[in-house]
Amino acid sequence: MKLVDMHCDTIYELLRETDAQTLFHNHLCVDMEGMRRARTMVQFFACFVDAKEWVAEGERVLTEEVWERAYARVLEMLKRLGKEQSDELRQASSFRELEENWQKNVISAVATLEEGGVLNEKIERVDELYQKGVRLITLTWNYENCLAYPNSRNARVMQGKLKPFGLEVVRRMNELGMVVDVSHLSDGGFWDCVKHGKAPIVASHSNCRALCDHPRNLTDEMLRALAEKGGVAGLNFYPAFLKALGKERKGKENGGKNKEAREDAISLCDIARHARHMIDVAGEDVVAIGTDFDGFVAEDVPGYISHVGEMESVWEAFVEEKITPRQIEKIQSQNALRVMKEVWRS
């Protein structure tokens, strides 16, 4: 067994900490001991920014200056990820490096960007981030940006397509060999990526809208289109994307610093139900893992997973859901690795 997790917010959280916490020693959801226990082969680390955190007093929200400050924060996170490297964890930017690291019993860290707005209509930044090791870009977060529109309960926003600069970014990412990530994107933007993208696309941390009617999740039609494109959807462990029940509390997904958490009625079987649904509607090759660890808080959900070291309990829930060993292995790593090998091209 080996694990590929396509999304966590751990580097973002580490940079916010005031004490000396690292990937080796922290109180977060992802650390070295837990990754070893989970048999992690590849962990994607998102350089996430909430642009509104960089709005100075008296400024209009999300000006060009705000996006510039947010981009500077992304560069800080990339530096921090570089400092976390050791004999046990190395940043990888090619499929060959992933394989070499695994053979040496070294976990591969892959840098990603979560919030394409920081490109700020500067196409050269795609190349700059590529040179710094970024291999996946989540085109939007929760705000309209220079590329596209976000997921939304507002039908007009949800229908918004990729903007001209967004189309240019997708083309350049395809040329370089970077993964286009449609999690957080509007439905209109999703279909533009399917139409105009020249390589498999991913929803790095998104679930099934048929089981949980949240705009961050994917419809059955979207899941089938993703599969036909050769892409994957990473199962997101965030309770609010698994089951539309229970109370909510403020969090990162609706504008706060930590994603809201469902406080009841969630269990590991809900993750397995979403995996089963994806398999049933789009096939076993579309399902991957995108935990969203350190992007939500789940301490108040009794018995729920709260650490990468507890991943074995997820696989046990899959077995209970009658997901086969072959399918589990594909979900754990094979499907995501297939996409990386095809898109990265080296």
Q: What is the mean pLDDT of residues 136-146?
A: 98
Q: What is the mean pLDDT of residues 158-165?
A: 98
DSSP states of 144-212 = --SS--B--SSHHHHT----HHHHHHHHHHHHHT-EEE-TTB-HHHHHHHHHH-SS--EETT--BTTTS
Residue 192 is assigned to a structural domain of this protein: no
pLDDT of residue 17: 81
pLDDT, one tens digit per residue, over 307-331 is: 999 999 999 999 999 999 999 999 9
DSSP states of 281-333 = HH-TTSEEE---BTSB--TTSTT---SGGGHHHHHHHHHHTT--HHHHHIIII
Its domain, for residue 23, covers 3-113+202-339
Residue 91 is assigned to a structural domain of this protein: yes
Residues linked to residue 181 through DSSP beta bridges, in sequence order? 138, 202
Is 50 exceeded by the pLDDT of residue 263? Answer: no
| Residue 329 backbone zone (phi > 0: left; psi -120 to 50: alpha; other: beta) | alpha
Is 70 exceeded by the pLDDT of residue 74? Answer: yes
pLDDT of residue 259: 45
Residue 83 is assigned to a structural domain of this protein: yes
Q: What is the mean pLDDT of residues 129-145?
A: 98
pLDDT of residue 205: 98
CA distance linking residue 128 with residue 328, whole number of Å? 36
Q: Where residue 245 falls among pLDDT bands split at 50, 70, 90?
A: low
CA angle (11 as vertex; 9, 14 as ends), nearest 5 = 110
Q: What is the mean pLDDT of residues 157-171?
A: 98
Question: Do the beta carbons of residue 326 and residue 335 sit within 8 Å?
Answer: no
> Distances in Å between the alpha carbon of 132 and those of 91, 328, 340, 343?
10, 33, 17, 17
Domain of residue 95, CATH code: 3.20.20.140
> Distances in Å between the alpha carbon of 44 and those of 113, 231, 256, 278?
10, 16, 22, 22
Is 50 exceeded by the pLDDT of residue 260? Answer: no
pLDDT of residue 345: 85
Q: What is the mean pLDDT of residues 266-274?
A: 95
Residue 187 is assigned to a structural domain of this protein: no
Which range has the worst mean pLDDT, 3-12, 49-58, 91-100, 258-267?
A: 258-267
Number of domains in the chain: 1
Residue 194 is assigned to a structural domain of this protein: no
Is 90 exceeded by the pLDDT of residue 75? Answer: yes
Residue 234 is assigned to a structural domain of this protein: yes
Q: What is the mean pLDDT of residues 5-10?
A: 98
pTM beyond 0.85: yes
Residue 130 is assigned to a structural domain of this protein: no
CA distance linking residue 224 with residue 35, whole number of Å? 31
Q: What's the chain's average pLDDT?
A: 93
| 98 vs 254: which has the higher pLDDT | 98
pLDDT of residue 220: 98
pLDDT, one tens digit per residue, over 283-304 is: 999 999 999 999 998 767 788 9
Residue 171 is assigned to a structural domain of this protein: no
Question: Do the beta carbons of residue 76 and residue 95 sit within 8 Å?
Answer: no
